């Protein structure tokens, strides 16, 4: 358990949801296997479409890790035929930017959310005030001996 987590006057809620695509992919038995959105409110962390419907107490969260990655993307393509101008040109599509949020609880479970089209810096800025107020560290900020 963490020492006193909430300080008066500090941020106590956050949601990562519409228009951002954020899906819960499982990993914590109390949160189920899938869901939408990432939410922290009322001293709990979890997911739910319009409100927090599946949650765990914030005081059971040991750390939060963010990992940015890219997925997909294509090269530009042109369909050519002998003696004819290019028939079809398909422009390149950039890779999809994805940030994984891993919430580690004190009992060793790891819940995973996937945020599309947002980088780790954006997600960190969104979560930092609430996590800081709750006394929950980002995994990368922990000394190696506590990871």
Per-residue pLDDT of 128-139, as tens digits, reads: 999 999 999 999
Q: Determine, yes or no, domain membership for 3.
A: no
Q: Determine, yes or no, domain membership for 143.
A: no
Q: Determine, yes or no, domain membership for 6.
A: no
The token pair that represents 145 in the structure block: 């001996």
CATH number for the domain that contains residue 70? 2.30.29
Q: Determine, yes or no, domain membership for 7.
A: no
The pLDDT-based confidence of 87 (bands split at 50, 70, 90) is low
Q: Determine, yes or no, domain membership for 147.
A: no
Instruction: Pick 107 or 8 by higher pLDDT.
Output: 107
Q: Determine, yes or no, domain membership for 61.
A: yes
Per-residue pLDDT of 7-44, as tens digits, reads: 455 678 999 999 999 999 999 999 999 999 999 999 99
The pLDDT-based confidence of 144 (bands split at 50, 70, 90) is confident
**CA-closest candidate to residue 59, choices 101, 28, 105, 13:** 105
When divided into structural domains, the chain yields a total of: 1
CB 105 within 8 A of CB 14: no
Segments forming the whole domain that contains residue 38: 14-137
Q: Is beta strand 35-36 parallel, antiparallel or unpaired with respect to 22-26?
A: antiparallel
């Amino acid at each position: 358990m963490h020492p006193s987590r909430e300080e008066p006057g500090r941020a106590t809620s956050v949601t990562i949801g519409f228009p951002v695509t954020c899906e819960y992919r499982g990993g914590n038995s109390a949160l189920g296997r899938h869901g939408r959105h990432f939410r922290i409110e009322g001293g709990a962390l979890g997911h739910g479409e319009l409100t927090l419907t599946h949650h765990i107490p914030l005081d059971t969260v040991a750390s939060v890790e963010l990992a940015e990655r890219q997925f997909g993307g294509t090269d530009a393509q042109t369909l050519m035929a002998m003696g004819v101008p290019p028939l079809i040109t398909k422009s390149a599509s950039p890779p999809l930017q994805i940030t994984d949020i891993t919430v580690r609880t004190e009992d060793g479970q790891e819940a995973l959310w996937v945020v599309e089209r947002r980088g780790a810096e954006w997600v960190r800025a969104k979560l930092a005030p609430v996590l800081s107020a709750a006394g929950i560290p980002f995994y990368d900020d922990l000394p190696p001996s506590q990871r």
